[in-house]
Amino acid sequence: MDKQLLLILNAQKDFMKSGAVQIDGSEAVIPIINKYIHDEEIAYMVISSISHPRNHISFSKMHGVRPGTIVDGEVRWPNHCISLSRGAELATDLDVDSFTGDTLYTFTGRCPTMLCKSALTDEVKEYIDKCDPDVFIIVGLDLDEVIPNTALDLRLITDKPICIDIPGCRQKEDKRFFKRFQELHDSNINLMFSTSDPRFYYDRKNEIRH
């Protein structure tokens, strides 16, 4: 049996309905993520969350502009996922406590002057090296940037199958993720649609591969 590692990225309250940076459809990913959590084939789990200081560079107030304004090529957001705040907590219905395998809780975005564009920190790399899984499955929020960047960074350190479960993810900005299809395809990142076996996936032409 393949040892599968589940990466859950940014599944936090501030990205849920009525959160500071509400992502449309974010609640719909929780049952899909929970299905993976309850899957006996998932041996390892990485839960990566944003934990920003109050003066983080991504906040619009730090630039004196309105949320959504682009500054130096980057969108500036309302204050969100501030360390130890309610909004930084994991989504309410995320059933991580029921997972019986090994879990790593890790955090990004703690440096006030750095944007967090990938969850593949040195801590996560060390954990992956220790676990040596056979398959990687990525779910969560920020399909625009963090999820594809994490997958691409992961490809630099492993040739094992890497799967992004599209129904288990959501993006902040419509259609932005679709611009990444070619890049992900060229790096052999599997775009999966919640099939029962992560070794089965759809490629960008919707052809089933094994």
Give domain limits for the chain: 4-53+79-209
Specify the pairing of strand 190-192 against strand 162-170. parallel
Q: What is the pLDDT of residues 142-191, one digit of tens each?
A: 888 999 999 999 999 999 999 999 999 998 765 667 778 888 989 999 99
Estimate to the nearest angstrom the gap between the alpha carbon of 139 and the chain centroid: 5
- In this structure, the dihedral spanned by the alpha carbons of residues 68, 74, 78 and 82, taken in order and rounded to 10 degrees, is 160
pLDDT at 208 over 80: no
pLDDT at res. 171: 86
The verdict on domain 4-53+79-209 having CATH code 3.10.129.10 is: no
Phi-psi region of 178 (alpha: psi -120 to 50; beta: other; left: phi over 0): alpha
Q: What is the pLDDT of residues 93-131, one digit of tens each?
A: 999 999 999 999 999 999 999 998 999 999 999 999 999
pLDDT at res. 180: 82
Q: What is the pLDDT of residues 187-204, one digit of tens each?
A: 999 998 864 444 444 343
Lowest average pLDDT, out of 7-16, 71-80, 98-107, 176-185, goes to 176-185
CA distance 35 to 177: 24
DSSP assignment of 71-135, as one string?
ETTEE-B-S-SBTTSGGGSBPTT--GGG--SEEEEEEE--STT-----S--HHHHHHHHHH--SE
pLDDT at res. 195: 46
CB–CB of 55/79 below 8 Å?
Answer: no
The span from the first CA to the last CA of the chain, in angstroms, equals 16
Q: What is the pLDDT of residues 129-140, one digit of tens each?
A: 999 999 999 999
Share above pLDDT 70 across residues of the chain, in percent, rounded to a whole number: 90
Estimate to the nearest angstrom the gap between the alpha carbon of 152 and the chain centroid: 12
pLDDT at res. 204: 35
Between 58 and 175, whose confidence is greater? Answer: 58
pLDDT band at 1 (very low <50, low <70, confident <90, very high): low
Q: What is the pLDDT of residues 18-32, one digit of tens each?
A: 899 999 999 999 999
**Bridge-partner residues for 106, per DSSP?**
48
